[in-house]
Every structure is written in C-alpha cells, then in structure tokens.
C-alpha cells in the first residue's frame, strides 16, 4: 500500500474519531473543539518500565504492552537508585545505572564506576539488551532519567547535594542534588552524553520533581505537610556565589527563610497569626523580597541545566528527541505552576510530558491543601481551598468528601492537555501527557479500565500528540493497561 493511501486512511479514521470526540465533549459540557493527532501520523504511545521488567525476557514484556495498549515507544528508568522505579524490592536494593557507565564521559564528576553502576544484575547492560528487542518490534527507546528522591547510599553523592539555610547538607526530597554544583552538572551531562553516544536510543527524557526553597518551606506540594521548613535550600557555596554575582543579598535571604520557618512552624502548631495566615505570609514576602529572588534563582538554575542537557544531546545527535516529565505538583499548586512556564520551555524541548495522573490526583490535591491550609491558605476551610484551587487551576472536579476516592476525571486530563497544547502552539514541541495506571498512593480509589480509558480519551480530545502510560509497567494490572488500548481503538488509533 503506498504511503499516501495510508495517510488518506489515517486521515479518515482520525477525522471520524474527532467527530466522535465532539459528541463526547458536548455531553460533558466541554466547549473547546476536540482535536486529534495530525492525520497520517500515529501518535506516540509510550510506557515507562523499570529494570525488573527488562532483566528477564524483555521481548515478552514488549509483546504484552504492544498487544494491550499499542505501545510503540519505551521509556526505561535506566538510571535510578529508587527501588520502586526499578520495580524491585527495597530490601538490599542499591540501583544506579542499569546500562554500563563509560568512564570517558564522567571526567567532570567525583562519582566512580562503582558509585554509578547498578549491581543488581551482574554484568548485564539492560539498555543494550532492550534496544534490539524494541527495534525488532518497531518500537523506539528513550533513556528516562528521573532524579532520585532520596540521596543514594553512596558516599560520593553527598557532596552533590543541596545545603539548607542553616548550613546542613540535605539528603532527601524536597531537596536534591544542586543544579549549581559543578560535580552534579558534570555527572548529569556525562550521563546524557554516554547514553547519546554509546547507545542507539531515539531520545531522552529527564525530570526534576522539585521546586525552590520558598515553596518547599511552605510544604506546597502533595505530601508536603511533613517537609521541614528549616531545610529550605539551597545555600551551598555555589548558590551563594551565584546569588552574590546577581546582586542578591545572601544574609537577607537567610533572614527571610528564618522568618518563614517560624511562620510555618507556628501554623503547623495551629497558632494563627494575629492578622491571619494569608496576610502574615504576604508581610514576610514584603519584608524579605529576597525569598522570591532565591526561588527564582533556583528555577533559573534548573532551567540552565535543562538547556545544557538539550544542547549536549543535540550537539551529539541532532535527531534525538529531548524532553521533560513535568511534576504532578503543577496540577495542584498555582505557585509551582507559575514556575513551570511551558511556552518558555519550547525553546529547549522537543516534547513535554505533563504528569496528568487522574486517579491519584484527587488525594494528591487534598494533600497539597492539607499542607498549605496550615500556612498560606490557613484562613480557608478544606472545601473553600479546594474550590479556590479548582477555580484558579481551571478544573471542575468532585467535592472534598469524595475527591480522594473518585480521583479527577478525564475532563481534567483534557483541560490540562489543552492548556499545554495552547502554550506550545506554533512551535515544534509536542505534548505527551502522562496517564496513571495503578500508581500506588495512600487513600486513593482503585484504578479501573474505564478510568484509564477516559483519561486517554481526555488527552487526545485535548489535542495530545501521544500519551505516556505511567508510572511503571511492573505496577500496572493487565486489564487496566488494556483500558488504554480500548481508548486508542475507539479513536481509530490502534
Ligand atoms: Zn546549591
């Protein structure tokens, strides 16, 4: 069959799917025009998978994901010290690089081969084994690097980590390795160069599921209530030096974090400020504008790292696709959303993966509110804070007493996909929303095939160029993975 014929058939199928989508939107009250991937081009259907799924018989896994969900692109967690991302039991797990580090690329870091190399599978190079199995099946492979949420149990990693405003080295989320630390930059750029040069990958995705010290001190993220406001970062020697070079007063910033710590600790103890929580917060910002300058310093430093990754990979193989997994907190926190400017990212992004995990979104939204209701939103009730969030973030979801178990709807996925598409309009950057399948999270209702199907439909109705099935193949129930395939079939895309 000539390719023009395939294109014409695709066009007809996609057009029909678009029309079906419009009907569905009319039912749900959505006003925006439905859209689907460009005619003649199959959407990217990706899946994340850990080392455990690659170590045995990758062919069997690839056949399963292809059959159930039309997967055509693989995103192995190829460097990770986190057991759940590798899909392995926590006991005795060390992790690291599940490919083989080629030391010529790591001259600018202090980490050794033994520091980096995952010991779990002997001499096996899981990336080198995966790529031919993927190619045989017409699948692409993207190296997927998600920053660890706990400092690896390796001594040399300590020097790469952020320092809090009391001068203490941090060791876990919401802090992490410092973007201004040359040893961390050296490691990260070496890692992406290694993958780009040593393996026939098709692209690379990187993620920082973090934000700056001001928002961390507030615990302004899902599960943030347990964050220590005294551990806001980063005040390492490199960050201090950079701040001074930009005319930011380091000691005034430190004084701001000290005031913020006292405010957050009082709120956690339910001691309401005389003028109320919101007013007290704004007064701290007015008295210490360096807090915002420090936040911006952090955000810009991460952006520099992303730009450096992008140009490093492009300088080696311009055809490799480079993009970013964007932390779920963008869905809950208007503060963090402001830090993630998708339109600005198009200058250094071939693709964006906004995390739009609908099933766990309800409980996570509650957790964001439970944390910030002890400080910046302390004057509101749970339901008021939720209504405020829905309004400013543009959602129409379930009330407080139900949202944890119902989760968010496919309409949330559609709205956020549409917002992302609008931000990248007129550029070559494509949008691949992340869809959750059986993400384990305390207090969340069960994931279902229908829920997954509605999320995938929502993504394409919002104009997605593909979807990335998440978080990890090893935690997905087969029938729920098939729910993604059901949506693609309904859209005529599988
Ligand atoms: Zn630093």
What the block records as the tokens of 436 is 């959750």
CA of 163 from ligand 1 middle (Å) equals 6
Going from the Cα of 303 to the center of ligand 1, the distance in angstroms, rounded, reads 14
Residue length of the chain: 494
Q: Identify the CA nearest to 144 among candidates 54, 216, 253.
A: 54
CA–CA distances in Å: residue 257 to residues 233, 295, 336: 9, 11, 18
| Residue found by looking up tokens 């920053």 in the block | 147
Distance 182 CA to ligand 1 centre (A): 10
- Counting Cβ atoms within 10 Å, is residue 377 exposed (0-12), middle (13-18) or buried (19+)? buried
Q: How much is the pLDDT for 36?
A: 55
Tens-digit pLDDT profile for residues 271-323 = 999 999 999 999 999 999 999 999 999 999 999 999 999 999 999 999 999 99
The bridge status of strand 73-80 relative to strand 430-431 is: unpaired
Which residues touch 53 (CB under 8 Å, ≥6 apart)?
61, 87, 473, 474
- Alpha-carbon separation of residue 324 from 149, 348, 351, 364 (angstroms): 17, 10, 7, 21
Q: Identify the CATH homologous superfamily for domain 3-490.
A: Glycosidases (3.20.20.80)
Cα distances (angstroms) measured from residue 77 to each of 205, 297, 474: 10, 29, 12
Residue 56, pLDDT score: 84
Calculate how far, in angstroms, residue 67's C-alpha sits from the geometric centre of ligand 1: 46
Q: How far is the centre of ligand 1, averaged over its atoms, from the C-alpha of 334 (Å)?
A: 25
Q: Quick: pLDDT tens for 383-437.
A: 999 999 999 999 999 999 999 999 999 999 999 999 999 999 999 999 999 999 9
C-alpha 370 – ligand 1 centre gap (Å): 29
Rounded distance from Cα 241 to ligand 1 centre (Å): 9
Name the CA radius of gyration of the chain, rounded.
23
Distance from Cα 301 to the centre of ligand 1, integer Å? 9
Instruction: Report yes or no: 334 and 388 within 8 Å, Cβ to Cβ.
Output: no
In the chain, what are the domain boundaries? 3-490
Q: 383 alpha carbon to ligand 1 midpoint, in Å?
A: 38
Please list the ranges in the chain whose pLDDT falls under 70. Answer: 1-41
Helix (H, G, I), strand (E, B) or coil at 276: coil
pLDDT the model gives residue 111: 98
**Residue 246: its pLDDT value, please?**
98
263 alpha carbon – ligand 1 mean position (Å): 24
* CB-CB contact of 178 with 150 (8 Å): no
CB 453, CB 486: distance < 8 Å: yes
Closest-CA residue to 131 (of 83, 174, 172, 73) = 73
Find the 189 Cα to ligand 1 centroid distance in Å.
Answer: 17
Q: Which of 350, 260, 339, 259 is nearest to 309 (CA)?
A: 350
pLDDT at residue number 42: 85
DSSP code string of 428-489: S-EE--EEESS---TTPPPP-HHHHHHHHHHHHHBT-SEEEEES-GGG--HHHHHHHHHHHH
The predicted pLDDT at position 40 comes to 54
Between CA 73 and CA 134 the distance in angstroms is 8
Considering the entire predicted model, what is its pTM?
Answer: 0.92
């Amino acid at each position: 069959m000539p390719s023009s014929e395939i294109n014409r058939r695709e066009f007809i199928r996609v057009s029909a799917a678009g029309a079906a989508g419009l009907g569905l939107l009319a039912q749900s009250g959505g006003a925006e025009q439905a859209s689907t991937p460009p005619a003649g081009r199959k959407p990217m259907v990706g899946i994340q998978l850990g080392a455990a799924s690659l170590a045995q018989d990758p062919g069997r896994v690839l056949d399963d994901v292809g059959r159930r969900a039309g997967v055509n692109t693989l995103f192995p967690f190829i460097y990770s010290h986190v057991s759940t991302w590798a899909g392995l039991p926590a006991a005795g797990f060390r992790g690291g690089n599940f490919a083989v580090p080629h030391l010529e690329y790591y001259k600018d870091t202090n980490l050794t081969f033994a520091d980096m190399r995952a010991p779990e599978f002997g001499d096996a190079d899981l990336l080198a084994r995966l790529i031919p199995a993927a190619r045989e099946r017409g699948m692409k492979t993207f190296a997927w690097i998600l920053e660890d949420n706990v400092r690896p149990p390796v001594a040399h990693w300590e020097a790469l980590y952020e320092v809090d405003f009391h001068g203490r080295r941090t060791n876990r989320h919401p802090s992490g390795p410092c973007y201004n630390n040359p040893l961390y930059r050296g490691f990260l750029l070496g890692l992406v160069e290694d993958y780009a040069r040593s393996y026939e990958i098709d692209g690379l995705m990187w993620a920082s599921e973090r934000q700056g010290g001001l928002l961390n001190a507030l615990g302004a993220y899902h599960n943030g209530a347990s964050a220590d406001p005294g551990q806001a970062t980063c005040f390492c020697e490199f960050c201090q030096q950079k701040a001074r070079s930009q005319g930011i007063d380091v000691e005034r910033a430190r004084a701001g974090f000290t005031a913020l710590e006292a405010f957050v600790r009082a709120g956690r103890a339910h001691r309401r400020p005389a003028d109320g929580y919101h007013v007290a917060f704004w007064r701290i910002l007015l008295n210490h504008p360096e807090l915002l300058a420090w936040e911006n310093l952090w955000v810009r430093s991460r952006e520099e790292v992303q730009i450096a990754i992008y140009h490093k990979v492009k300088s080696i193989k311009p055809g490799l696709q480079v993009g970013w997994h964007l932390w779920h907190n963008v869905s809950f926190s208007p503060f963090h959303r402001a830090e993630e400017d998708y339109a600005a990212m198009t200058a250094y992004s071939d693709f964006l993966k906004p995390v739009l995990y609908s099933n766990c979104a309800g409980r996570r939204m509650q957790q964001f509110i439970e944390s910030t209701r002890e400080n910046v939103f302390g004057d509101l009730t749970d339901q008021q804070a939720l209504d405020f969030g829905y309004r400013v973030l543009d959602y129409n979801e379930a009330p407080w007493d139900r949202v944890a178990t119902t989760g968010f709807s496919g309409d949330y996925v559609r709205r956020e996909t549409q917002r992302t598409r609008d931000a990248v309009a007129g550029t070559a950057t494509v949008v691949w929303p992340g869809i959750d399948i059986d993400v384990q999270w305390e207090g969340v209702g069960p994931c279902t095939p229908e829920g997954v199907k509605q999320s995938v439909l929502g993504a394409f109705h919002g104009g997605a160029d593909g979807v990335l099935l998440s978080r990890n193949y090893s935690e997905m129930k087969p029938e729920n993975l098939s729910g993604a395939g059901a949506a693609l079939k309904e859209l005529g895309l599988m």
